[in-house]
């Protein structure tokens, strides 16, 4: 089985937001066939979309996996459910949201999964942490550099550093 690289966007805006991020990372790391390689800092973000709700904590994790994109999606959705994720309101509040942003440099289009995630280039709360851990990225679907996308979005309001990844503690973010 070949090791593949994926980037997972993570967000939470319900309850103890940083603990949901931590628990999700722990569950990802404890899953056979997935290893967390690195994590971005955590950013606090105003909600995206029309639903009035609390601010999010967002980050990106780089993982290596032997899973196919579909298997990885199913695994991430199972982790969301185990952390009480409810899918009641589109773009609504959630304990945890786990999105596959990238899977190697592949363009994947399935009925239930598109990789790269189709909203990356519109969302500073994804671009900023992704740029932190993968600054040289060239988007597989558009051949546009992440730096170019960041320059277009960087002046948008509402994405601020919440906790810097200093390399200490669990995942560089949480006390051991």
Active site residues: 85, 94, 97, 99
Supply the angle between the helices 124-133 and 146-153 in degrees, to the nearest 10: 140
- The residues near 73 (Cβ < 8 Å, ≥ 6 apart) are 100, 112, 113
Which string of b and e fits 34-43 if b means at least 16 CB within 10 Å? bebebbbbbb
- The residues near 31 (Cβ < 8 Å, ≥ 6 apart) are 75, 79
Residue 75's nearest CA partner among 6, 170, 22 is 6
Backbone angles phi and psi of 100, in degrees to 5: -75, 115
In eight-state DSSP terms, residue 16 is S
Percent helix, strand and coil across the chain, each to the nearest 5: 30, 30, 45
Alpha carbon of 60 to those of 1, 21, 88, 156: distances in Å? 25, 10, 24, 19
């Amino acid at each position: 089985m070949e090791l593949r690289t994926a980037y997972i966007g993570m967000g939470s805006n319900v309850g103890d937001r940083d603990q949901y991020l931590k628990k999700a990372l722990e569950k990802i790391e404890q899953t056979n066939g997935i290893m967390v390689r690195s994590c971005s800092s955590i950013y606090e973000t105003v909600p995206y979309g029309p639903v009035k709700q609390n601010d999010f904590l967002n980050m990106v994790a780089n993982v290596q996996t032997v899973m196919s994109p579909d298997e990885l999606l199913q695994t991430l959705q199972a982790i969301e459910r185990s952390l009480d994720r409810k899918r009641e309101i589109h773009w609504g509040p959630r304990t945890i949201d786990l999105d596959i942003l990238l899977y190697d440099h592949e363009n994947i289009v399935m009925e239930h999964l598109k990789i790269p995630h189709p909203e990356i280039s519109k969302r500073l709360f994804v671009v900023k942490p992704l740029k932190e851990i993968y600054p040289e990225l060239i988007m597989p679907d558009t051949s546009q550099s992440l730096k170019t996308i960041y320059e277009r979005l960087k002046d948008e309001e509402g994405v601020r550093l919440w906790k810097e990844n200093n390399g200490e503690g669990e995942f560089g973010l949480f006390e051991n």
